[in-house]
Amino acid sequence: MNNILASVARRTGLSIVAIALMAASAPALAQQPSADTGAAAALRAKLQALAPQLERNAFRRPLALESSEAADRLSGDVYALVDHPFARVSGTLREPAAWCQVLMLHLNTKHCAVKGGGATLAVAIGRKFDQPLSDAQTIAFAYTPGKADANYLNVRLSADTGPLSTRDYSIVFEATPADGGKTAIHLRYAYAYGTAARLAMKGYLATLGSDKVGFTPAGQGGYIGGVRGVVERNTMRYYLAIDSYLDAPAAGQLEQRLGAWFDATEQYAKQLHEIEKSDYLTMKRHEFQRMQQPTAS
């Protein structure tokens, strides 16, 4: 060892003591935790655990969907890899106005406005057809930008109350860099519900929604239905909205976003088909035009 240190010292001009100190410190530096710790590391670990599902699944894209149902709460989670570098994802989705554009792609979102200097998104929720805003229900989402650095982005939308005794709405988005210039993302959509919402959902599932299913397999080639099917469908719609917006985020790319979102939902027509493309485009063009008006009506 001493001979090696002496040889290095002759070549570099450094003293043997200096070389020895550098060598001694090298293992400690290698063992220091990297910047990819905490939430970013947890997200990477989750995506790694889901690697087999991401590589081979019925979605035909690197995506995994999970859902859960508690006594009075539903949640859906999408984990996916998107073909965009992290810098673009983070730069695009850290602004509240971008989330209005994302949410507006969903069939049921009728209007979205940034309020309070970016602290709140006023989101009007309605039916799956064109309707006046007076017939829609507005949910005030608090916009909370979480950690945003070179390795991680976290954004949260939360609302205390919603239509028909629904409450505790939460939309959480997080992202971290992945290999190959891609980005690993996680989207969670969750809410709680009371008696009125439970009765309304029961009526819907017994009539208009009786043939609706989610994405989780449920025996003999079928898929899960009921309220978990509902939350899975909407979680997927929001994920596809994020993906479509990342592909075409510019103000002049609205038509591209609308077409891409609808076409993506039609890849899962059994779960997500509701209206024809021409009707969707007509409805959304009107709704986006309405958003440009000083006072929406």
Q: Which domains does the chain have, with CATH numbers?
A: 39-291 (3.30.530.20)
Question: Whose CA is closest to 188, among 54, 65, 92?
Answer: 65
CB-count exposure of residue 12 (10 Å: 0-12, 13-18, 19+): exposed
Q: How far apart are CA 141 and CA 185, in angstroms?
A: 21
Is the predicted pLDDT of residue 29 greater than 60, yes or no?
Answer: no
Report pTM: 0.85
Is the predicted pLDDT of residue 17 greater than 80, yes or no?
Answer: no
- Give the per-residue pLDDT at 37: 62
DSSP designation for 32: S
User: Confidence class of residue 208 from pLDDT cuts 50, 70 and 90?
Assistant: confident
- Give the per-residue pLDDT at 197: 81
Mean pLDDT of all residues belonging to the chain: 87
Is the predicted pLDDT of residue 180 greater than 80, yes or no?
Answer: yes
Is the predicted pLDDT of residue 188 greater than 90, yes or no?
Answer: yes
Is the predicted pLDDT of residue 87 greater than 60, yes or no?
Answer: yes
The region that residue 57 occupies, defined by phi over 0 for left and psi between -120 and 50 for alpha, beta otherwise, is beta
Signed CA dihedral, 10, 15, 19, 24: sign only: positive
Question: Whose CA is closest to 146, among 94, 100, 103?
Answer: 94
Question: Whose CA is closest to 258, among 271, 270, 275?
Answer: 275
- Give the per-residue pLDDT at 25: 31
Is the predicted pLDDT of residue 237 greater than 50, yes or no?
Answer: yes
Over its C-alpha atoms, the chain yields an Rg (Å, rounded) of: 24
